[in-house]
Structure 1
Amino acid sequence: MSVVEKRAGWHFAERSVLGLVAVIAAGLGFGLLLLLVLHRWTPMLQLDQHLDDRLNALVAPHPAAVAVLKGISTAGGRGWLIPLVVLVCVLLLIRRRTRLAIYLAVTGLGAALLDPSLKALVGRVRPVVADPIAYGMGNSFPSGHTLGSTIVYGALTLVFLSLAQGRWRGWLIGAAAVVILAIGLSRIALGVHFLSDVIAGWLLGLAWISITAYAFRVWRREAGQPTAPLADGLEPEAADDLAPAPDENAVLPHPWAKGAEILVGWVFTFGVLYLVGYAVTRWSPPFDDAFPRWLQTFRSPTLDHVSWLWSKAGDTHAILAVSLVFCPIALALWRQWRPVLFIVLAMFGELTLFLLSAAATGRPRPQVEQLDGTLPTSSFPSGHIAATICLWAAIALICMGRIDRWWRWLFLVPAVVMPVGVAVSRMYRGMHHPTDVLGAVLLAACWLAVLWWTVRPNAEALRATADLEHPDRRRERPARPGRDGDPARVARPGGPSGAARLRPAAHRDAR
């Protein structure tokens, strides 16, 4: 055995022993805390209550601090962690990394089962503070937010660690540790958990991650895969598949020129909105107030609830949620940033155009009962409707240009149904005139046309399709470094080529 092999063996043994010690220490630490809580050890109980009282006295008088702590705490709740795990598992399956998806799902499922089981077993009540600023459901030990965030963010770090190189690995691990630490401390500061609850969540989460990571490595070994250091990630060879867009060239050619074109288009759209808004504010047509009054005659408790649901489908939270789901899936499917950039610019431009146009026109709301109360923005244009049109129309434009199956036409359904439903609900609730809807349509049509002409979100997909249909054109076009001239880009081991990933389904089947 050579000297290099001996050193590698010693390093492997050292890492294994240290990992085993860490797992044992985490398990023993959690077990000790569990016994102290079950036997109600007085010094620990006094320390827990004293810390909660002090932090409550510091935080409760400051609403801004309370809001920040609640925002941090939300990142460890089930309403955030479960959708995050499901979305990442879908992305891993799209990239054909089934083993990593199973690992993440099983690890996250363990967090979902450990938390309620231990809380029911221990039955510890939550803290009682002088000025409650937050409320928790169920028992207190261990902290579910802390346990869930430790397991989920720790597992995600192990999954994507192979993407980071050199110092970036330390930054990635450090960022995950900061998030986990902040979530745990926020639960104490909000007065919904004791210090011992949070420490128990950290220790149990670390132990569970270590167990599942070891089981994953055994699974790889039994499947004939090489065993790499855990610092390289769970699957080091998956780095290329986990990379967002390894096959893409520049996102936009001539970015400064494109930026200038987008800016000119934004100014043009704002000018159109200002002129129309100025006109309808000062010369409002008779039907503008008559139509919301007519819709008001149909009001009933059932329709009020249905209209509220439709209206919520166009608010900021719903639009942001759909965008945060679609953009990663689009990136995983087509390995290009350009469709994501198209969505981001569409929504950012819509928001700025709506806010400035509403401030410039200052149009009052309809003279009817407004079910949503007084809003800070003016009536023209409708931000809910404009955001809904921009989002669903942009998704339809991207998907219909990249899918050649008959069901691509189904993307037109939400692009039509969602804006119509939101528009009717907003007028039914007395929040907008018909001309406000017209303003939203003008905003979305002008702005999406500008972005379609400048960004061209489907340009790379169309070019790849043209190359497949006319191979002579590809041979005549000079090779470009990093694409045509790089054989690794054309036929990459472990996955299809960049052109194959962009190829519409019909061409893949024909092949």
Structure 2
Amino acid sequence: MPHRAWLVGSAVFAVGVFALMWVGYSQQWPWLARADLAALEPLDRFGTAHPGWVTAWDLYCTVLGPTVLRLAGLVVIAVALVRRRVRTAVFLVLTVELSGLLLVTAKAIADRPRPAAALVFAQSTSFPSGHALGLMVCVLAFLTVLLPMLPSAARGWAIAAGVVLIASIGVGRVVLNVHHPSDVVAGWALGYAYFIVCRLLYPPRVSPGDGTPAAPGTAR
């Protein structure tokens, strides 16, 4: 119960952060606009002078972006179904695959333009960052499913790799000037809140037809 309360509280906090970024953008709060520009302007100057830097970041964000992770998720879902781990498969559909619908809805409502100095082409609107939201949901979902299958000594490394991936992809979108920093923070926050809701409403615990626990601390 205390663990559940902590998850609920953290999700509520994340929703608050998302709302703060959204209201701040829509109301054109000066401090938020200054913070966004303070990051974007020097990165625009550096990227314009170093095209190879831009290409490297663009490739990194593409290869390890949410589209690739969602394709990987389809493979994991198929394997889970073949092994009759239906609950795991449904959990991954709810989190990894359906989070895209949440993103499309949020982008359509906010309708924030991309930064004017975007260094590469990016489709759709800017708020929230789809890469930030997608990576947050996908990495957390994959870790939830895979951690119990890993040796104890490897779990810390897997978590660290997930944190680095989430953070670096978010930073990369700002480096490329295709997102304001507030877009990325909002994407992380909304993605985390969405994952927690899915985790609480449909936890991938041991159940008939799904004999593998998918979260630390569940019974084996």
TM-score after normalising by structure 1: 0.40
Aligned length: 217
Which residue identity is paired with 1:109?
E
Question: Does residue 76 of structure 1 match 2:65?
Answer: yes
- The answer to whether 1:66 aligns with 2:54 is yes
Cα 1:222–1:167, aligned 2, differ >3 Å: closer, same or farther?
A: closer
Change (3 A) 1:95 1:56: same
After TM superposition, the structure 1 = structure 2 runs for residues 145-184 of structure 1, keeping only pairs within 5 Å, are: 145-184=131-170
The aligned residue for residue 88 of structure 1 is 76
Do the aligned partners of residues 229 and 90 (structure 1) sit closer, same or farther apart at CA in structure 2, a change above 3 Å counting? Answer: closer
5+ residue gaps, structure 2, are none
| Conserved? CA contact 1:143–1:198, under 8 Å | yes
Relative distance call for 1:236 and 1:188 in structure 2 (3 A) is farther
For residues 230 and 88 of structure 1, the distance between their equivalents in structure 2, rounded to whole angstroms, comes to 16
Q: Matches of residues 267-282 of structure 1 in structure 2 within 5 Å?
A: none
Classify the secondary structure of the residue corresponding to 2:123.
Answer: coil
Question: Among 188, 205, 209, which residue is 2:191 paired with?
Answer: 205
Distance 1:222 1:102, change over 3 A: closer
* Consecutive unaligned residues in structure 1, runs of 5 or more: 1-12, 238-511
Q: Provide the C-alpha distance between the structure 2 equivalents of 1:171 and 1:236, rounded to a whole number of angstroms.
A: 22
Measured against aligned partners, the alpha-carbon deviations of 1:77-104 in whole angstroms (never above 9, x if no partner) come to 42x1332121111121222211101110
Paired residue type of 1:28: G
Quick check: 1:118–1:141 contact (8 Å CA) kept in 2? Answer: yes
Answering whether residue 136 of structure 2 is matched by residue 136 of structure 1, we say no
Distance in 2 between the 1:231 and 1:222 partners?
15
Residue 105 of structure 1, aligned match among 93, 103, 109? 93
Deviations 1:244-297 (A, max 9, x none): xxxxxxxxxxxxxxxxxxxxxxxxxxxxxxxxxxxxxxxxxxxxxxxxxxxxxx
Determine the structure 2 residue equivalent to 1:394. none
- Identify the residue that residue 216 of structure 2 maps to in structure 1: 231
How far the C-alpha of 1:220 sits from its partner, in A, is 4.7
Q: Secondary structure at the match of 1:231?
A: coil
Shift of 1:63: 3.0
The separation in 1 between residues aligned to 2:71 and 2:214, in whole angstroms, is: 30
Q: Aligned ranges for residues 387-426 of structure 1 at < 5 Å?
A: none
Checking the alignment, whether the CA contact within 8 Å between 1:72 and 1:182 is kept in structure 2 is: no
Q: Is the 8 A contact 1:162 1:236 kept in 2?
A: no
Opposite residue 77 of structure 2, the aligned amino acid is C
Letter in 2 for 1:201: G
168, 179, 182: which one aligns with 1:196 = 182
Paired amino acid for 1:73 = C
* Whole-angstrom CA distance in 2 between matches of 1:160 and 1:77: 18
Higher Cα Rg: structure 1 or 2? 1
Assess, with a 3 A threshold, how the Cα gap between structure 1 residues 24 and 68 changes in structure 2: closer, same or farther.
Answer: same
CA contact (8 A) 1:30 1:200 kept: yes
* TM-score under structure 2 length normalisation: 0.89
Shift of residue 14, structure 1, vs aligned partner: 3.6
Q: For 1:68, what is the secondary structure of its paired residue?
A: helix
Aligned equivalent of 1:57: 45
Distance (Å, rounded) in 1 between the aligned partners of 2:98 and 2:128: 14
Deviation of 1:60 after TM superposition, in Å, equals: 2.8
Which aligned runs of 4 or more in structure 1 are off by greater than 4 angstroms?
Answer: 219-223
1:45 lines up with 2:12 in the alignment:
no
Conservation of the 8 A alpha-carbon contact between 1:33 and 1:200: yes
Structure 1 residues 77, 100: CA separation in 2 closer, same or farther (over 3 Å shift)? closer
User: Could you tell me which residue of structure 2 aligns to residue 285 of structure 1?
Assistant: none
CA distance in 1, matches of 2:131, 2:30: 25
Q: Are the counterparts in 1 of residues 14 and 193 from structure 2 also a CA contact under 8 Å?
A: yes
Measured on the aligned residues, the alpha-carbon RMSD in Å equals 2.3
Is the Cα–Cα contact under 8 Å of residues 33 and 196 in structure 1 kept in the other structure? Answer: yes
Q: Deviations over 1:192-216 (max 9, x none)?
A: 0000000001011111111111112
The structure, 1 or 2, with the larger RCO (C-alpha pairs under 8 Å, 6+ apart) is 2
Question: Which amino acid is the alignment partner of residue 112 of structure 2?
Answer: R
Q: 1:135 and 1:152, CA in 2 relative to 1: closer, same or farther beyond 3 A? A: same
Change (3 A) 1:230 1:86: closer
CA contact 1:146–1:201 (8 Å) conserved in 2: yes
Per the alignment, residue 28 of structure 1 pairs with 16
In structure 2, C-alpha distance between the alignment counterparts of 1:160 and 1:229, rounded to whole Å: 7
CA apart distance, 1:236 = 5.5
How far apart in 2 are the matches of 1:229 and 1:192? 35
Q: How far has the Cα of 1:141 moved from its partner?
A: 0.2
Query: CA contact under 8 A between 1:124 and 1:140: conserved in structure 2?
Result: yes
User: Structure 2: how far apart are the matches of 1:14 and 1:229?
Assistant: 19
Distance 2:90 2:103 in 1: 20
